[in-house]
Amino acid sequence: MSLTRRQLLGVGAAVAGAATLGGWALWSGRGQSPLLLSARNDDAGQHYAVGYFLDGRRAFATPVAERCHDVCRHPFLPLALFVGRRPSRESYLVDLRDGTLVQTLHSQSQRHFYGHAVFHRSGQWLYATENDTGEPGRGVVGRYRLDSQRLQLIHDGEVSSHGVGPHQLAWLPDGESLVIGNGGIRTEGGSREEMNLDAMAPSLVVMDRHGERISKETLPQSQNSIRHLAVAADGTVITGQQYHGAPWDSVPLLAIKRPGEAYQPFPVATSQLAMMKQYTASIAIHNEKRLVAMTAPRGNRFFIWDLDSAATLVDAAMPDCAGVGAVPGGFAVTSGQGKCRYFDCTGGAVQSHWLTLPDGWWDNHLWLG
Amino acid sequence: MQRLIVLITTLMLAACSNPRQEVTVQLANQVLLPAHQQWQSRNAALLDSTRAWCSGDQPLASLEQAFHQTQSAWSRLQPLMVGPLSEGNRSWQVQFWPDKRNMVARQTEDLLNEFADLTQLQLEGASVVVQGLTAFEYVLFDEQAALSDNRGRYCPLLTGIARHQLALSNEVLALWQQPDGMLETLTSFPNGRYANADEALGGILRVQVTGVDTLKKKLGTPMGRLNSGVPQPYQAEAWRSRHSTENLLAALEGAQAVWERVRSLVGDAKLVGDIDAAYKSVRDKLAALPAPLMNMVQDKANQPQLQSLYADLDALENLQQTDLARHLGIQIGFNANDGD
């Protein structure tokens, strides 16, 4: 198969970027303990973009002005964007080799970040969910081009997210289609206050990266905000919800869209739903083992289910469990308040042990690899 | 030689002893579990009293007294409900507050209109709004219910609620006392929930600080602090039984019971003095309120007294949430309180 002009440009950009970064053409931490990237605070309230190896060694801790939420890795350069948490107007591009802050990315006028972004597989483009504060809640996906000479992200346009209050987005396996959780909540610039709890409109949208809508689906409860998601290698999408209705209502806080099927509740036991306090945070899928893991920090509960049978493998108490990510043997989970944990899924029953990462102050998402 | 052995033994004991673990174990055994047991026994007494009144063997005043004692045990428990009671939506089954739209009265009457002779199964299948002490209080004290004239209508519900509360407290107590239960989780480390005593102590303090924050809300809401200063007397907790202040005092007592044990871990004498003084000031000011809270908030002349109480409660919360937490190196909240 011959390379297209666009792919050629992508390769060229990668080489140029590698040159700028000092000859690291294809950076990776091979042979090392997995690297965990996350937003974190210290007890004085200072915000950081941090990298820790899973064995507890610190790679870097870069102070940043605003609290971040999720982290998106460049597909092959040692770069990651630590994405500003709603309603931040800043995100931070960091050199993962030493934590150098390469760029403070400012949102456009009348836009703020929602805490999530993804790099395109070419490494040239980044897509971030944003709020149009001129028309509060109108979701847009900002498109940024990576200037590989200067290693700067440059705003290059935007498209509609086809919904209100977009939150997490991810690539489907084709690498060209995005799935987006539109939370359905309207907030103004500079505020986290919800303006439309009685008229929310959450949706799960699939669109191509140029903005053309492929599908838009909803769940029955309008107050069930679709926020976080993960995509399996076969294209199965799992979403996590945050419900803004009565605290005692039993609603699907986890939902699934299998390839070719309708978006529908994932069959979680009612007793498990009751433990989540209507709030889910981070979701990770283990592709080889076909497992899905999810944190519920308000309920102080961590879960692992079989992605296909929905059987429960783990239903564990864990204070303020925050980000979760998959590694070959299982899942690593951070905590906002306590010790981070590793759940080893290599044997019959899942074994858990504590990690030597610093305790507490981890934000709700992580990148692990 | 003997002196050396004594010295080595002393050093070994010092190395083994962990004051935080000792305090955590004390809190679990001497404060948290007894508070749950007290709540359970009050529920048992409430069921006895309800049955006795419904069969005409007891005056209404006795039932009211049993209700107050149950409400008080529940209030005291709120800053102490680490574990099972705070999980699985159980606490909503005990009390429905705030009731912004008078749902308790409406849903209680709707339920009884639908099921003239309410069964336990029907109650268990109904909303949490009608399963708890707030619905019980409505029936017992609201003029609309006129209980004495409508014993036949309301007794199945009262008995059903009391039975539901007892079953709930029995379930929670079992979850505390069973092998690998909450008591063991707070006294033997590491375990499936906590890596060490520090994490467990942090968990207890977080619940206690949340309890103090809830106290503030229960005072501030009827004062109108969430309503541009316009008083909302019917948003007071337990306004129907005129027992808001008693409940607040009981909750404060529960919170203070935690502090009494934690105090020994604090090396800063000024901080200890400040927190002691803050508890005393809030307690004294609460006890000095001359009338039920729902009446107090409706008279502007009482505003300075209530504002002063609120300010003291706020100071107490800050002392614990910020100064005490920092001193102990315990983190009170992050994503669980402020996620995204």
pLDDT in tens, A317-339: 999 999 999 999 999 999 999 99
Complex ipTM: 0.88
Angle between the N-to-C axes of helices B197-223 and B244-262, in degrees from 0 to 180, rounded to the nearest 10: 150
Q: Give dist(CA B298, CA B306) in Å, integer.
A: 11
Q: What is the pLDDT of residue B306?
A: 97
Residues of A in contact with B202 (CB under 8 A): 319, 337-338
CA–CA min distance A173, chain B (Å): 26
pLDDT, residue B331, reads 83
Q: Which amino acid is at A71?
A: V
Domain ranges of chain A: 60-319
Q: How far apart are CA A291 and CA A10, in angstroms?
A: 33
Give A167's contacts in chain B (Cβ within 8 Å).
340
pLDDT at A24 over 90: no
What does the domain layout of chain B look like in residue ranges?
A: 20-181, 197-332
Label residue A9 by pLDDT band (50, 70, 90). very low
Nearest-by-Cβ selection for B334 from A247, A275, A320: A320
The mean predicted confidence, pLDDT, of chain A is 92
Nearest of A169, A194, A192, A193 to residue A184 by alpha carbon:
A194
Instruction: Give tens-digit pLDDT for B40-67.
Output: 999 999 999 999 999 999 999 999 999 9
pLDDT for position B14: 45
Distance from C-alpha of A85 to C-alpha of B293, rounded to nearest angstrom = 41
pLDDT for position B16: 54
Is pLDDT above 70 for B334? no
Q: Do B193 and A297 touch (CB under 8 A)?
A: no
Over residues B79-97, the pLDDT tens digits come to: 999 999 999 999 999 999 9
Q: Give residue A188's pLDDT.
A: 85
Give dist(CA A145, CA B156) in Å, integer. 69
B30: which 2 tokens? 């001497």
Please tell me the distance in Å from B194's CA to the nearest CA on chain A. Answer: 8
- Nearest chain A residue (CA) to B334: A336
Domain B20-181 and domain B197-332, same fold? Reply is no
Are B199 and A247 within 8 A, CB to CB?
no
Q: Is residue B309 packed enough to be buried (19+ CB in 10 Å), middle (13-18) or exposed (0-12)?
A: buried
Please report the pLDDT score of residue A4 as a whole number. 38
Q: Is residue A25's pLDDT more than 70?
A: no
Closest partner residue to B336 (CB to CB) among A115, A337, A361 is A337
pLDDT per position as a tens digit, B275-317: 999 999 999 999 999 999 999 999 999 999 999 999 999 999 9
Cβ–Cβ of B335/A297 closer than 8 Å? yes
Counting Cβ atoms within 10 Å, is residue B1 exposed (0-12), middle (13-18) or buried (19+)?
Answer: exposed
Cβ separation of B336 and A320 shorter than 8 Å? Answer: yes
Q: What integer is the mean pLDDT of A14-40?
A: 66
**Contact list, B195 vs chain A (CB under 8 Å):** 338-339, 354
pLDDT for B9 equals 47
- CB of B149 less than 8 A from some CB of A: no
* Contact in structure between A304 and A289 (CB atoms under 8 Å): no
Instruction: Report the share of chain B in percent with pLDDT over 70.
Output: 93
> What residues of chain A lie within 8 A of the CB of B336, using their CB?
297-298, 300, 319-320, 336-337
d(CA A74, CA A173): 17
Average pLDDT over residues B256-266: 98
Q: CATH fold of B197-332, please?
A: Four Helix Bundle (Hemerythrin (Met), subunit A) (1.20.120)
| Residue in the block written with tokens 């107490």 | B316
User: Is the link from the previous residue into B222 a cis peptide, with omega within 30 of 0?
Assistant: no
Write down the pLDDT at residue A28. Answer: 52
Q: Which residue of A has its CA nearest to B199?
A: A338
List the structure tokens of A85: 């948490």
CA distance A259 to A202: 21
Which chain B residues have a beta carbon less than 8 Å from that of A240? none
Q: Does A315 touch chain B (CB under 8 A)?
A: no
pLDDT one-digit tens code per residue, A118-142:
999 999 999 999 999 999 889 999 9
Residue A43: its pLDDT value, please? 83
Alpha-carbon distances, residue B20 vs A43, B263, B265 (angstroms): 20, 11, 7
Q: What's the CATH code, domain A60-319?
A: 2.130.10.10
- The residue that leads in pLDDT, B17 or B316, is B316
Please name the residue of chain B whose CA is at the shortest distance from the CA of residue A278.
B89
Q: Comparing C-alpha atoms, which of A29, A156, A141, A131 is closest to residue A80?
A: A29
In chain A, positions 83-112, which contact chain B (CB-CB < 8 Å)? 85-86
> Which residues in chain B are closer than 8 Å to A275, comparing Cβ atoms?
87-88
Average pLDDT score over residue span B112-134: 96
Report pLDDT for A3. Answer: 34
Choose the CATH number for B20-181 among 2.20.28.160, 3.20.10.10, 1.20.1420.20, 3.50.50.60.
Answer: 1.20.1420.20
How much is the mean pLDDT over chain B? Answer: 93
Question: Please, how many CA atoms are within 13 Å of residue A201, restricted to the half-sphere of its CB?
Answer: 12
